[in-house]
């Protein structure tokens, strides 16, 4: 059995032809307010998929978060609440805006805990960044209710959750902002890339200027901006990938269902993302192991299964944040997750034979201790 990676981009002939056509056209990027033809095509498809009024393409998921904070004028003296159990980019963008990250505990399903949000809200809180982790939506209704009571913005980190739904509504339909990543191994990819969706006309206008040095009509910088533009080749690939989104999600769900049938009842294995009022797109199939997680992970990888731990170290204990005084925060559920989660491959290129192999190897790894 060949090594089965935790994730792998699904690139076909249509994506290759789209990229080549851009190269042959010689129009590799477009510095206009609206963006190039392929950028606009991708944005239309993303807006239609999410039901959002606007979609704004940028050059990374990190950029989508940073530019959203900038558009809402998050600055020095402001606080932004976010879970400590996430990829560090979610916190780094807060620092980039000279604001203060406030780390919040998570619930047993690894999503930000609304109760801890309430405890940590202050008069300086400017925004909340809930993370839809592993392809599973967080408790948006409670979070938005808390935010609305204090006129705080909700900027959803949906980097891993394009196509997921919360109470029948697709993630990305929001009056504030939802941020997506098109990194190489995300649900869809453009190699690198990102996007923001919003129903806020003013927000969309500011985002389109900010991604292009604050310009609206040529060299007329009106507000502070940077080069966050998505190049045309990446947009062309992303546009084709959008056409395949339902197919790619269906493959993930099929693999996750098959794997779940084989491993969910193994001794010690528990699934934590199980609420029925939201739909999971299984960006990562993640189990919780009560003990020996690292040993199990090593055994699986030795057998060619690309299992992985997301995340072994919480953001507040990363060197940057530990040096800023965050290391000793009381975040018990975050620390439990870091010690016990393990993700298994269910991406669209995993075959049924490989799913069986993954399940068999997990069973062996759990029993051969």
24-37: pLDDT as tens digits: 999 999 999 999 99
Q: Is the preceding peptide bond at 136 cis, omega within 30 degrees of 0?
A: no
Confirm if 65 and 240 have CB atoms less than 8 A apart. no
Counts of helices then strands in the chain (DSSP H, E): 13, 12
- 231: DSSP letter: P
Compute the average pLDDT of residues 222-249: 97
**Interatomic CA distance for residues 99 and 76, integer angstroms:** 5
pLDDT of residue 52: 98
* 121 φ/ψ angles, rounded to the nearest 5 degrees: -70, 140
Chain-wide mean pLDDT for the chain?
97
Q: How is 304-365 classified by DSSP, letter by letter?
A: TB--B-TTSS-GGGSHHHHTTT-TT---HHHHHHHHHEEEE--STT--HHHHHHHHHHHHHH
The DSSP 8-state label assigned to residue 84 in this structure reads S
pLDDT in tens, 273-303: 999 999 999 999 999 999 999 999 999 999 9
Cβ count near 340 (within 10 Å): 18
* Confidence at residue 217, expressed as pLDDT on a 0 to 100 scale: 93
Provide the strand spans (E) within the chain. 54-58, 79-83, 100-104, 125-128, 153-157, 165-166, 169-170, 177-181, 194-198, 278-279, 285-288, 341-344
In the block, which residue shows the tokens 């439990």?
A: 336
3-state SS, residue 238: helix
CA angle 360, 85, 204 (to 5 degrees): 115
Calculate Rg over the CA atoms of the chain.
21
Residue keyed to tokens 């990305």 = 172
At residue 369, does pLDDT exceed 70? no
Query: Is residue 148 helix, strand or coil?
Result: helix
Q: What is the mean pLDDT of residues 333-349?
A: 98
Pairing of strands 285-288, 278-279: unpaired
pLDDT band at 367 (very low <50, low <70, confident <90, very high): confident
- Residue 190 pLDDT greater than 80, yes or no: yes
* Token code pair at residue 188: 């869809």
pLDDT at position 1: 76
CA distance 217 to 121: 40
For residues 92-115, give the mean pLDDT: 98
- Give the separation between CA 106 and CA 304, rounded to whole angstroms: 32
Residue 39 has pLDDT above 70, yes or no: yes
User: What is the spatial distance between Cα 143 and Cα 250, in angstroms, rounded to a whole number?
Assistant: 29
pLDDT band at 86 (very low <50, low <70, confident <90, very high): very high
**Mean pLDDT (whole number) for 171-176:** 97
- Does domain 245-367 fall under CATH 3.90.1150.10? My reply is yes
pLDDT for res 297: 97
DSSP code at position 295: H
| pLDDT given at position 216 | 95
pLDDT tens profile 131-164? 999 999 999 999 999 999 999 999 999 999 999 9
User: What are the residue boundaries of the structural domains of the chain, listed by start?
Assistant: 13-243, 245-367
Lowest mean pLDDT among 244-253, 264-273, 295-304: 264-273
End-to-end Cα spacing for the chain: 23
58, 80 Cβ separation under 8 angstroms: no
Same fold, 13-243 and 245-367: no
Q: Into which CATH architecture does domain 13-243 fall? A: 3-Layer(aba) Sandwich (3.40)
């Amino acid at each position: 059995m060949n090594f089965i990676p935790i994730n792998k981009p699904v690139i076909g002939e249509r994506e290759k032809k789209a990229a080549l056509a851009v190269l042959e056209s010689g129009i590799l990027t477009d510095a206009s307010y609206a963006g190039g033809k392929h950028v606009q095509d991708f944005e239309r498809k993303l807006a239609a998929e999410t039901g959002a009024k606007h979609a704004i393409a940028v050059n990374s998921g990190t950029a989508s978060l940073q530019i959203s904070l900038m558009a809402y004028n998050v600055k020095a003296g402001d606080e932004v609440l976010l879970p400590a159990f996430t990829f560090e980019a979610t916190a780094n963008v807060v620092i980039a805006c000279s604001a203060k990250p406030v780390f919040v505990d998570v619930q047993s399903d690894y999503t930000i805990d609304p109760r801890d949000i309430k405890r940590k809200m202050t008069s300086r809180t400017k925004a909340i960044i809930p993370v839809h982790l592993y392809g599973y939506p967080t408790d948006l209704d409670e979070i938005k209710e808390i935010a609305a009571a204090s006129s705080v913005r909700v900027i959803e980190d949906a980097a891993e959750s394009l196509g997921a739904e919360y109470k029948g509504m697709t993630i990305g339909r929001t009056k504030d902002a939802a941020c997506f990543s098109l990194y190489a191994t995300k649900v869809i990819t453009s190699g690198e890339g990102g996007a923001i969706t919003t129903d806020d006309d003013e927000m969309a206008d500011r985002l389109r200027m900010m991604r292009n040095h604050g310009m609206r009509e040529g060299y007329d910088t009106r507000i502070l901006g940077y080069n966050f533009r998505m190049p045309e080749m990446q947009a062309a690939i992303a546009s084709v990938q959008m056409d395949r989104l339902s197919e790619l999600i269906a493959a993930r769900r099929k693999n996750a269902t098959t794997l779940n049938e084989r491993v969910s009842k193994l001794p010690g294995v528990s699934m934590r993302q199980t609420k029925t009022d939201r739909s999971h797109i299984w960006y990562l199939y993640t189990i919780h192991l009560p003990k020996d997680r690292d040993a199990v992970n090593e055994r699986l990888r030795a057998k060619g299964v690309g299992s992985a731990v997301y995340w072994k170290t919480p953001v507040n204990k990363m060197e940057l944040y530990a040096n800023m005084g965050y290391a000793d925060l009381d975040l018990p559920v975050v620390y439990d997750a870091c010690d016990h989660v393990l993700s298994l491959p269910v991406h669209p290129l995993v075959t049924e034979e490989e799913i069986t192999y993954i399940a068999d190897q997990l069973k062996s790894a759990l029993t051969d201790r």
